[in-house]
Structure 1
Amino acid sequence: MTEALILLSMFAMIAIGLPIAVSILASALLGLWLLNGHLGFLNAALSIFDGATSFPLIAIPLFILAGALMNTGGISTRLIAFVSALIGFIRGGLAMVNVGVSMFFAEISGSAVADVAATGSVLIPAMKKRGYSPRFAAAITSSSASLAIIIPPSIPMILYGALSDTSIVQLFVAGIVPGVIGGFLLMALSYYFAVRYDLPREAGFSLPRLWETTKDAAWALVLPVIILGGIFGGVVTATEGAGLAVVTALFIGVFIYREIDLGRLYHALVEGVVQTAVVMLLVATSAVLGLYLTETELPQRLAQGISAVTTNKLVVLMIINVFLLFLGMILHGAAAIILTVPIFMPLVHQLGIDPVQFGILLTLNIALGQQTPPVASVLVTSCSIAKTDVWSTTKTNLPFIAVLMLVLLLVTYVPSVSLGLVDAFYDR
């Protein structure tokens, strides 16, 4: 009963507008004090330090910084030009370009918010100018950016892997097929709407234009090959790959495209620090909540309670999905991961659910949460660029959300969709 009141107090503090990290820390400290008195505060201090100094988590600020450098270094604009030359001639091609660029950009930044900020600021005004409604432009930009976080590298996967002691590299591999399937489904849906509403084509296909944009974007296209090739090839870890992403993005922006000067570098660093602070503060404070949950054995009791009702993996996964979908509506993605991993991992291990599959399932739920108000961090960012209302855009976004739901169902009930490549590469 006490544990339930502690968790309810946390959600109540979030509901009245307190920062999520403050709400998590305050409720966890209250719980530890009730359990252990003032000694609980000493353990909390150690947990905060340990929670924020895990080596794999260093990848998060580095990938965030790499995304900021891409945005200021001209990499994103060249990717847009290349993808536009490649598929922009199809009816509604600018919407497909939006999806394609998000998939490319995600292979470097790992962040949906960074994706929207970088590509949306260019593509959304262009789509509006070509006759797309602001709501449609915001919806496709937002959904494609959120889908792209399951394509490696992915900050939610890094966070989940560090908290659950799951191989981050295997999580990256597991996200490839679902990400590609979802991307093609979003493109197909965009084409359907383009035909139905007679959306415009861009300039006709031109081989010389494709060649020019390919040459111009060559360094940007090589960047994910360097990063992911190094990680998948076992040359570097995910954390080292994130460092490589920063160095490579900085080199390209300064010496190749020559668009990063000291002023732009300063703004990129500030943007990276601000985004990192939000995530890492959540990580640090959540370690205290994890300590409280561990001492109360709430996750184990929850696992036993669900197991007493059913041991069917498919039913349990359905229950978890419903819970995560609800949680994603009211919490930031990082906070949702941090809260759910300690609670559900004992159940995952008890029922023999593959932790890699569960990581992709969790990441997809985070992607859906980024599209569903009231929090909807990525959708809100996209709407602010498009200058449109969040709730009306959500109605337009429903078919694209349905695509994300379909990919989630495939990952949940057809394990080979996410685990096929992992099993093949790692002979599991």
Structure 2
Amino acid sequence: MILLLTTIALISLILINVPIAIAIGIVSVGGFYLTSGSGRFYDMVIALYSGATSFPLIAIPLFILAGNLMNTSGISVRLINFVTALIGFVRGGLGMVNIGVSMVFAEISGSAVADVAATGTVLIPEMKKRGYSRTLAAAITSSSASLAIIIPPSIPMILYGAIAETSVLKLFVAGVIPGVLGGGLLMLVTYFLAIRYDLPRAEGFDLGHIWKSFKEAFWALTMPVIILGGIFSGIVTATEGAGLAVLAALVIGIFIYRDLDLKRLRATMLDGISQTGVVMLLVATSAALGLFLTQAQVPQQLAAQITHVTTNPLIVLALLNLLLLVLGMFLHGAAAIILVVPVVMPLVTAVGIDPVHFGIIVTLNLAIGQQTPPVASVLITSCSIAKAGIWETSRTNLPFIGVLAFILLLVTYVPSVSLALTEYIK
């Protein structure tokens, strides 16, 4: 009953346009007051503070800043030029370039919205010039950007790891195969659509041009190697890797490419602070709500009720996928993780589901949620850049959403797809 009332109150506030973080805070205050009185407010304050100051979460503002620095320091443009030279000769190559750049960008920023902002502003206008419809350009950009939260490093994975007390490194490794497989299938769909709509090649194959663009993009291409190499080798943690990403972006942008001056740096940092403030306020208030639900024994009661009906992990995963897909349509990724994970983790543990496996499932559900209105934060950003209608683009986007849904089902029911590489991590 408490979970139902909490959900109704939260959705009602969101529907009247109360910001999600504020809505969560209001529900938390009301829940504590009605069940325990004002004496519990001290616990709530502690939860607000500790929720926003967890060490692993420091990686979130750092990766946000690294992504913003890439957008303003010429790194993104050089990556686009290199990938265009590499695969642009294929029919529909510019769409594939979009996907390929997103896969590289994902290895640095961990944010789908940052990916759209970086690649969409450059590639979408060019795609429209080459004969791509507005909706197709927006759909390819949006769906490929969601790879940014599947391919490591991933901000949602960091958040999930902190809440579920699961190894972020294992989550990163588990995301490699699904992310690469998803990128390959998105390119395949783009190729078939290019044939169907008779889309042109981006440019001819030219080894000289490839070599020239590679030299220009060399330092940009070292960033994923430095970041992921450091994290996967165990030299740095995910949080330290985020700091390394910022340092690399600064050094490359200021001293090598020389496209990042003080004015741009100031604007980039202010934008990063703004984005971080939104995310961390959401994290803090959600931590308070999580404390209220935990003290009310809601997660344990939910686990007991479902396990009383079934303990089959396949059925439980199907129910959790359905829940996450629905919530993903109405909540931003961070809100969905913070609200759902603390509630369902006792159930996940009770039926024997690997928490790393479940983390990848959560991330894939959020990737689909970023593409499905009404919230669809990544799709809306892409449509805004392309000046395309959201519902029209959603129809065009269905084959790409189908790819993400296929990867979700594959990972859900063939755990080795995501867990195979984690066996090599101690």
Separation in structure 1 between the aligned mates of residue 309 and residue 124 of structure 2, nearest angstrom: 48
Deviation at 1:103, TM superposition (A): 0.3
CA deviations on 1:342-389 (whole Å, 9 max, x unpaired) are: 111101111110000100000011111100000000000000000011
Matched ranges for 1:302-321 at <5 A: 302-321=302-321
- Provide the aligned C-alpha RMSD in A: 0.7
Judge conservation of contact 1:6–1:30 (CA < 8 Å) in 2: no
Structure 2 counterpart of 1:199: 199
Separation in structure 1 between the aligned mates of residue 148 and residue 269 of structure 2, nearest angstrom: 23
Separation in structure 1 between the aligned mates of residue 28 and residue 284 of structure 2, nearest angstrom: 12
Separation in structure 1 between the aligned mates of residue 149 and residue 76 of structure 2, nearest angstrom: 16
Deviation at 1:309, TM superposition (A): 1.4
Deviation at 1:292, TM superposition (A): 0.6
Matching residue's letter, 1:397: N
Judge conservation of contact 1:7–1:27 (CA < 8 Å) in 2: no
The reply to whether residue 52 of structure 1 matches residue 59 of structure 2 is no
CA deviations on 1:278-333 (whole Å, 9 max, x unpaired) are: 11011000011011111111111111111111111111100000000000000011
Deviation at 1:6, TM superposition (A): 2.3
Structure 2 counterpart of 1:28: 28
Matching residue's letter, 1:212: K
Matching residue's letter, 2:343: I
Structure 2 counterpart of 1:278: 278
Structure 1 counterpart of 2:220: 220
Separation in structure 1 between the aligned mates of residue 244 and residue 310 of structure 2, nearest angstrom: 46
Separation in structure 2 between the aligned mates of residue 159 and residue 42 of structure 1, nearest angstrom: 24
Matching residue's letter, 1:198: D
Matching residue's letter, 2:50: D
Matching residue's letter, 1:367: A
The reply to whether residue 380 of structure 1 matches residue 397 of structure 2 is no
Matched ranges for 1:228-247 at <5 A: 228-247=228-247
How many matched pairs? 426
Separation in structure 2 between the aligned mates of residue 412 and residue 141 of structure 1, nearest angstrom: 25
Matching residue's letter, 1:72: T
Structure 2 gaps of 5+ residues are none
Judge conservation of contact 1:134–1:387 (CA < 8 Å) in 2: yes
Matching residue's letter, 1:408: L
Matching residue's letter, 1:259: D
Deviation at 1:3, TM superposition (A): 3.6
Matching residue's letter, 2:347: L
Deviation at 1:41, TM superposition (A): 1.2
Judge conservation of contact 2:106–2:147 (CA < 8 Å) in 1: no
Identity %: 65
Q: TM-score, structure 2 length as denominator?
A: 0.99
Matched ranges for 1:8-407 at <5 A: 8-407=8-407
Separation in structure 1 between the aligned mates of residue 46 and residue 360 of structure 2, nearest angstrom: 30
Separation in structure 1 between the aligned mates of residue 79 and residue 158 of structure 2, nearest angstrom: 25
Separation in structure 1 between the aligned mates of residue 28 and residue 6 of structure 2, nearest angstrom: 7
Matching residue's letter, 1:38: S
Deviation at 1:35, TM superposition (A): 1.7
Segments of 4+ moved more than 3 angstroms: none
Question: What is the DSSP-based 3-state SS (H/G/I as helix, E as strand, rest coil) of the residue aligned with 1:202?
Answer: coil
Deviation at 1:423, TM superposition (A): 1.3
Matching residue's letter, 1:421: L
Separation in structure 1 between the aligned mates of residue 225 and residue 52 of structure 2, nearest angstrom: 29
Judge conservation of contact 2:72–2:268 (CA < 8 Å) in 1: yes
Deviation at 1:148, TM superposition (A): 2.6
Matching residue's letter, 1:199: L
Matching residue's letter, 2:366: I
Q: TM-score, structure 1 length as denominator?
A: 0.99
